Amino acid sequence: MSTPDVPPKTMNAVEITTPGGPDVLKLTQRPVPTPGAGEILVRVTAAGVNRPDVLQRAGGYPPPPGASDLPGLEIAGEVVAAGDGASRFPVGARVCALVAGGGYAEYAVVHESNALPVPAGFSDIEAAALPETFFTVWTNVFERGGLVAGETLLVHGGTSGIGTTAIMLAKAFGAKVFATAGTDEKCAECLRLGADLAINYRTQDFAKEVKSATGGGGVEVILDMVGGDYIQKNYEAAAMDGRIVQIAFLNGPKATVDFTRLMMKRLTHTGSTLRARPVAAKASIARALEEKVWPLLAAKTIRPVIHARFPLAEAAAAHALMESSAHVGKIVLVP
């Protein structure tokens, strides 16, 4: 294991100068953060780009109290220092981590319990594409949604970072997967990743297609990041005792819904956010991932889909690509 250099006093970082479009992201100089009790300082070699970063940049998703104002929720890199009581990772260890902010920088701090070792055989770019999506999918699909082998998952946005991860994880754990996407080409990508059915939501009614594919029975779990008019359609597509897990509202958080289906099918409609959850809650998810998912990554049973990488200074271009929805899988920044 290499011995990293002593970190400098200042670092390059990308800040949000004012709420707005991608062009408000600017490279700046910031002090290198100091790890507190139980925290590690990571020299960031790659950082994932996610939809919450876009929302924060636009002014709609402020960081939780105590978190860095810099965007960026997932990183990979090398441990260069540790705070009091932090002993899980030695200096020089390669880690990836879920952070509450501050990922778009050359250095970031994170509580050691929210970090994981880089899976064997993974590059730092691949490792940086893991935390946000894998934490999100695990806690929402498997913990809140209760997906088990033999059931069927419907995931909206099948070619997003969340979608590609959900397809691969659900298949790895023995579930059937249906996915929606906005073009025939993206539907083909969903099938290539292992989806059993891909539905072009621009040309097909996903609720009707799901009912047809299941003999009228519907699907047990739905992972929805769209909201809006999808909520009613999800109720139509869900099976008896189905579980619908809401993680975002790309079509808006408000809808006119007939709740009769909710009652008659005994549906559970739940949801969650990840960023503001306590360190201990995220640590619990990290331990579950390390036990159940990290062996699959090490065995190369599943691997994140990397669409593009950008230098840190080109974060605006990375955000523009994400907002275009032209990507399949993850977008990564490289300091």
Residues 218-254: tens digit of each pLDDT: 999 999 999 999 999 999 999 999 999 999 999 999 9
d(CA 18, CA 245): 32
What's the pLDDT at 79? 98
Give the number of other CB atoms < 10 A from CB of residue 83: 16
Q: Decide if pLDDT at 2 tops 90.
A: no
Averaged pLDDT of the chain: 97
pLDDT of 199 over the 90 cut: yes
Helices (H), the chain: 51-57, 124-128, 131-137, 161-172, 184-193, 206-213, 230-237, 260-264, 279-292, 294-298, 315-324
What does the pLDDT read at residue 6?
81
Write the CA distances from 71 to 64, 105, 115, 125, integer angstroms: 12, 9, 18, 18
| pLDDT for the residue numbered 311 | 98
> Which pLDDT score is estimated for 1?
47
pLDDT at 195 over 80: yes
Q: What percent of the chain has pLDDT over 90?
A: 98
The string of pLDDT tens digits covering residues 145-183 is 999 999 999 999 999 999 999 999 999 999 999 999 999
Tens digits of per-residue pLDDT, 15-45? 999 999 999 999 999 999 999 999 999 999 9
CB atoms within 10 A of CB 138: 20
Place 3 in a pLDDT band, splitting at 50, 70 and 90. Answer: low
Q: Using pLDDT thresholds of 50, 70 and 90, give the confidence band for residue 189.
A: very high
Query: pTM of the entire structure?
Result: 0.95
pLDDT tens figures, 308-326: 999 999 999 999 999 999 9
pLDDT tens-digit series, residues 276-306: 999 999 999 999 999 999 999 999 999 999 9
- Domain 10-130+275-334 CATH assignment equals 3.90.180.10: yes
Fold agreement between 10-130+275-334 and 134-271: no
Q: What residue spans define the domains of the chain? A: 10-130+275-334, 134-271
Q: What is the pLDDT of residues 103-153, one digit of tens each?
A: 999 999 999 999 999 999 999 999 999 999 999 999 999 999 999 999 999
Q: Kindly state the average pLDDT of the residues 95-102.
A: 98
Residue 213 has pLDDT above 70, yes or no: yes
- Please give the CATH number for the structural domain made up of 134-271: 3.40.50.720
